[in-house]
Every structure is written in C-alpha cells, then in structure tokens.
C-alpha cells in the first residue's frame, strides 16, 4: 500500500476539469493529514487552486509560444522536469494524462506514478488504473476519487458530502460588486446569470431557445439578468440583451472575478462548460442543458450539486453521437417553458426565504 507524504496531482486541462479534481486534496488530507499536496495546472486555471485550504503548493505548467492562454502552447519538458524535481515528490496522480505531462512525471523520478492503463504511453505509470471513462459509468469527479484507491482510500462521495473549497478572492469580489453597481445592478438583490456558450465542449441549447427563456424571466420575474461568456463569445451573448436592464459581461471578468459574480447570483443557467462547475462548487442553483451523447452526458459531466436541474433533449434517440445530435437538432426539443417553471420556483424560494446566496 502506498502512503503518500508528498503528493503531486496533475490536472492540466480546462476549468471544469480542474474543479472536479479539487476535492481530491481534502480527501487525501482526511486520511493522510501530514501529506503535502501540490497541484500542477495550466496558468489560466491557477486562480481555481489558489488559497485552497488543502493545497500546499501550486506549480504551473511551463509552456512556450502562447498566442492564446487557453489554447496553450508547446510544453517545455526540460523546464517542467526541473521545476517538479525541486519538490522531491514521492507520489503523483496524473488525473488528466497527456503524453507530455506523463513523460514529465516519469523523468522527474517520482516513485509512485498513478495513471490510466489504457493509453499507449501508460508504460510511464507504474500504478495503473483500469477504468474506461468514455462509457460514463459514473461522474467524472467519482472517477477522479477512485484514483485514490491506490492509497487505500475508498471514499464514497455524493453531491451532499463533497466539498470543493473554492476561494472567493476579496479583491475580485470588491471589483465585481463595483462593476455591478455601475450597471445599476444591486448585488444584494436576486441575480440570474445566463451563460449561452460552451467553447465547443458540448452541444449547446440553440441561442433562440436562450432568447425565449431570457424573455420569460425578464417579463415574469424580478430577477436582475446578467449574461456571461468568454471574450470571443461577446457577439453570441449580445443576442440575449433584449433591453437595457440586461447586462452583458462577456469577456469582462478574470477567472477569480467569474467566481465572484457566480457567487453573487441566485441561479446560474448554462450549457455544459467550465463555469457550470464553478456554480455547482459554490452550491448555487444550477440549471444545465446537456445532450444525450454519452461522452458529454450529465451523468459524467453534470454539475455535482444537490441544487442541479438538468434538461436533456426530449427526442427518443439511442446511441447518440455529435453528428446525429447536430443533424437532428436534438437540443431544440428542450421545452423552454419547463425550464422557466423551475426558474420561477427558485425565484419564489429565494424571495420568500431571503435566500440569495
């Protein structure tokens, strides 16, 4: 049995993926309180792991030629190995394996290298885990927690029991509240956020459906409506600005500011994308739109919270794939009125109980 004393957790992909790995730190500390936990992440997700109560150190992946921080660049093997060797890790979990990161961990001389047994480069791991994630037999977070079995940690998690410990940066919080007030949005009153993009990570609810939903919320509730998205989604998000009271903040916020704005909201409404996991991690009411494609399904990638409400296509299809889902426009079968009914219920709950946060 491996008893980790100095552990490196590797998660060098996107926002949602990193969030769904954060609970590993707390679980490891529960069983091995003296174990130091370090996360290796990309620079643009670093704010997700900063000031985490169970993460002792953060290493950012050394990349070159970065025209787009999110797209990433060429991984510098030599610099990464040098950076990791300084810490003298005895164990590493490669939650998200790529050949480059797996090679880095191998060359860093870490004794216990835990990773999947199903990649061509799995010979770089000496503690292999045999689970096919593509079949979505469980949630991504549960797959991640199962990697800890190599440390004799058998933790049964549920949305009620899990803790993400996502940090709210006071400076970011102050700035976001000021930005809201400048747009005549009162942070103390109910806010709903619509996030219509997904950067291609899934099949989205058509923008026309989002427009219909925003119109209903605007006409029939007292929610203050905010639209969020990445910088290159500004034009898409602008389509939801149906009047001057609806504010489009696409491209406006840093990652830590995005955490703050979601934390101030009452409901977050989104396709399957990174910020939906921020909402879940903050225990917000979270409404998500997911296709029936197994690899993109809510069963694997849904918001991991008791406050999640998921809508999937009402089509009767089997063995769905991206091509079929797009060609039949399956996501358009989602009934917007059904979504609004749930939003209205939450609005009444929030306003009656004073439950804004």
pLDDT tens digit sequence for 66-114: 555 455 578 999 999 999 999 999 999 999 899 999 999 999 999 999 9
β partners of residue 114: 93, 127
51 C-beta neighbours (distance < 10 Å), count: 13
* Fold adopted by 175-353: Rossmann fold (3.40.50)
Q: Label each residue of 137-150 as H, E or C.
A: CCCHHHHHHHHHHH
Confidence of residue 137 (pLDDT cuts 50, 70, 90): confident
Which pLDDT belongs to residue 326?
53
Provide mean pLDDT across the span 32-61: 97
Which pLDDT belongs to residue 317?
67
The domain ranges of the chain are 6-149, 175-353
Provide mean pLDDT across the span 257-261: 98
pLDDT at 325 > cutoff 60: no
Provide mean pLDDT across the span 34-47: 97
Q: Which of 38, 40, 13, 47 is nearest to 255 (CA)?
A: 47
Which pLDDT belongs to residue 68?
52
pLDDT tens digit sequence for 270-320: 999 999 999 999 999 999 999 887 667 899 999 999 999 999 887 666 666
How large is the C-alpha radius of gyration of the chain?
Answer: 21
Provide mean pLDDT across the span 140-147: 96
H helix intervals, 197-329: 207-220, 234-238, 255-263, 274-281, 298-301, 322-327
Confidence of residue 202 (pLDDT cuts 50, 70, 90): low
Which pLDDT belongs to residue 1?
83
Confidence of residue 179 (pLDDT cuts 50, 70, 90): very high
For the chain, how far is it from start to end, CA to CA, in angstroms? Answer: 43
Provide mean pLDDT across the span 238-264: 97
Confidence of residue 355 (pLDDT cuts 50, 70, 90): low
Which pLDDT belongs to residue 165?
97
Name, in order, each residue with C-beta under 8 angstroms of 23's C-beta and a sequence gap of 6 or more: 141, 144, 145, 157, 162, 163, 164
Alpha-carbon separation of residue 309 from 202, 268, 345 (angstroms): 17, 10, 12
Q: Which of 238, 220, 226, 322 is nearest to 270 (CA)?
A: 226
Domain 6-149 part of CATH 3.40.50.2000: yes
Confidence of residue 356 (pLDDT cuts 50, 70, 90): very low
pLDDT at 239 > cutoff 90: yes
Percent of the chain with pLDDT over 90: 81
Average pLDDT of the chain is 91
Which pLDDT belongs to residue 204?
86
The model's pTM: 0.93
- Do the domains at 6-149 and 175-353 have one common CATH topology? yes
Provide mean pLDDT across the span 21-48: 97
Which pLDDT belongs to residue 263?
98
Percent of the chain with pLDDT over 70: 91
Provide mean pLDDT across the span 134-140: 83
Provide mean pLDDT across the span 250-264: 97
Confidence of residue 200 (pLDDT cuts 50, 70, 90): low
Which pLDDT belongs to residue 201?
66
Which pLDDT belongs to residue 247?
97
Provide mean pLDDT across the span 59-64: 94
């Amino acid at each position: 049995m491996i008893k980790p004393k100095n552990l490196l957790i590797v998660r060098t992909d996107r926002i949602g993926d990193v969030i769904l790995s954060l609970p590993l730190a707390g679980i490891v500390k529960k069983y091995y309180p003296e174990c130091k936990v370090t996360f290796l992440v990309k620079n643009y997700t670093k704010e997700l792991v900063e000031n985490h109560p169970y993460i002792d150190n953060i290493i950012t992946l050394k990349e070159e030629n970065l025209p787009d921080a999110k797209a990433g660049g060429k991984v510098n093997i030599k610099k990464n190995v040098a950076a990791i060797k300084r810490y003298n890790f005895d164990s590493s979990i490669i939650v998200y394996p790529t050949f480059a990161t797996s090679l880095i961990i191998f060359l860093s001389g870490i004794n216990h290298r835990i990773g999947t047994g199903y990649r061509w480069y799995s010979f770089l791991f000496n503690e292999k885990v045999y689970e096919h994630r593509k079949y979505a037999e469980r949630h991504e977070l549960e797959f991640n927690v199962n990697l800890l079995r190599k440390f004799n940690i058998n933790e049964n998690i549920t949305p009620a029991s899990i803790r993400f410990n996502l940090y709210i940066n006071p400076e970011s919080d102050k700035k976001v509240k000021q930005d809201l007030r400048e747009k005549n949005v009162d942070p103390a009153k109910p806010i709903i956020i619509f996030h219509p993009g997904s950067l291609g990570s899934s099949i989205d609810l058509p923008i026309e459906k989002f427009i219909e939903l925003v119109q209903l919320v605007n006409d029939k509730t007292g929610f203050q409506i905010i639209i969020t998205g990445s910088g290159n989604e500004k034009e898409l998000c602008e389509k939801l600005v149906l009047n001057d009271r609806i504010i489009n903040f696409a491209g406006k916020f840093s990652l830590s500011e995005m955490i703050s704005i979601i934390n101030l909201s009452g409901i977050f409404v989104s396709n399957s994308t990174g910020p939906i996991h921020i909402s879940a991690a903050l225990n917000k009411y979270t409404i998500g739109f997911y296709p029936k494609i197994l690899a993109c399904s809510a069963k694997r990638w849904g918001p991991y919270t008791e406050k999640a409400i998921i809508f999937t296509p009402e089509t009767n299809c089997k063995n769905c794939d991206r091509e079929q889902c797009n060609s039949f426009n399956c996501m358009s079968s989602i009934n917007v009125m059904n979504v609004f009914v749930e939003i209205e219920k939450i609005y009444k709950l929030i306003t009656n109980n004073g439950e804004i946060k």
